[in-house]
Structure 1
Amino acid sequence: MISKLLQSAALAAAMVVAAPAVQAQELKIGYVNSERVLREANLAKAAQVKLEAEFGKREKDLRDLEAKLRGAADKLEKDAPTLAEAERNRRQRDIVEQDRDLQRKKREWQEDLNQRKNEELSAVVEKANRVIKQIFDNEKYDLILQDAIHFSARVDITKKVIDALNAQK
């Protein structure tokens, strides 16, 4: 019984002696705001410009088609009182069919845009993660977090990550 008590006392004494050594060894923590990286890094901006160039014409064509359809609907509404019922029904069917076609084209455009956006952003995220890993290794961080709810400006390394990304060719 006494030997167990002595062992416990020795263990407690060892912990008391070791505690200051653990406290002296501070953790080095960093924080990266991913949203800001994807908004401000030149790579992300270039990806956005590329997407706008790739999908801008289709978007303009869809807007033009929508305006044309709106004009046809307005014309039908204005002409409806003077049109024969068969002609009015034919124009209504045409407008409904054109609207259905427009909605399908919009959905396809949005799906294509989302897919390409995901491809472009994943390339940026992959490069950003490599930069973060380099900073982690080179500056001897113990922990780097992304997208924390609360953080101190003291641990925010987002600008460092953006600068490193921008420096890459």
Structure 2
Amino acid sequence: MSLRSTLAATAAVLSLALPVAASAAELKVAYVDLQRVLLEVDDGKAAKARLQKWLEDRQKEIDKEQDALRKEKETLDKQASAMSEATRTQKATELQKKVMELAQKYERSRAEAANKERQEMEPIINRIDQVIASIADRDGLGLVLDKRDSGIVFALSQYDISNEVVRSYNNGKKPAAPVAKDAPVKK
């Protein structure tokens, strides 16, 4: 390759790279810990408490049935020697069927819990997204990343807008005016 063609190729690459580098230098980025925000906003705390109570009630019900089955098995074990083979097999089969039904009930309960959590959290997540969009628009942020799902290994805390998202969400208002660049960031 001649010197002239090398210089032309280099100039072409630089002419393409400079606008990208300039726009990247102007790109304002922030991140938010969505999981933490979801757990700290008032609606998220209330939803989590409702879900926890529902789960505890379901668990108590399952534990009660499990204890009843355990007692039934103990009774069967104690009386097994006095039963005929056919009766013992029938009782054991019935007990096994009840155990399987309880396991299925537990699995249905888990699926119901996941569905209930999704229903409870979806409107909260949508509102959090609106708050984040409002903050990003106000501050001219070109990119807001989720701390956990974005692959961020390290970022300066000054780029974390999680606290502001929680405050804005709980206040139910539009986000406050942007903080001056030289002003210390409050947490």
TM-score interval, normalised by the smaller of the two chains: 0.7 to 0.9
- Alignment partners' CA distance in 1, 2:26 and 2:104: 58
Structure with the greater alpha carbon radius of gyration:
1
What residue in structure 2 maps to residue 74 of structure 1?
Answer: 74
- Alignment partners' CA distance in 2, 1:156 and 1:94: 58
TM-score (norm 2): 0.71
1:165 maps to which of 166, 169, 179: 169
- Alignment partners' CA distance in 2, 1:83 and 1:38: 58
Q: 1:19-43 CA distances to partner (integer Å, 9 max, x unpaired)?
A: 8xx48x6432110112212222222
- Alignment partners' CA distance in 1, 2:140 and 2:161: 13
Is the aligned partner of 1:110 residue 2:110?
A: yes
Structure of higher RCO (CA pairs closer than 8 Å, 6+ residues apart): 1
Quickly say closer, same or farther: Cα 1:130–1:145, change in 2 above 3 A: same
Tell me, what secondary structure is at the counterpart of 1:31?
Answer: strand
Partners of 1:31 and 1:151 within 8 A in 2? no
Tell me, what secondary structure is at the counterpart of 1:141?
Answer: coil
| Identical counterparts, % of pairs | 26
Deviates further, 151-160 or 132-141: 151-160
When you count helix as a share of all residues, which structure comes out higher?
A: 1
What residue in structure 2 maps to residue 3 of structure 1?
Answer: none
Tell me, what secondary structure is at the counterpart of 1:145?
Answer: strand
- Alignment partners' CA distance in 1, 2:67 and 2:170: 41
5+ residue gaps, structure 1? 1-7
Q: Alpha carbon RMSD of aligned pairs, Å?
A: 3.0
TM-score (norm 1): 0.78
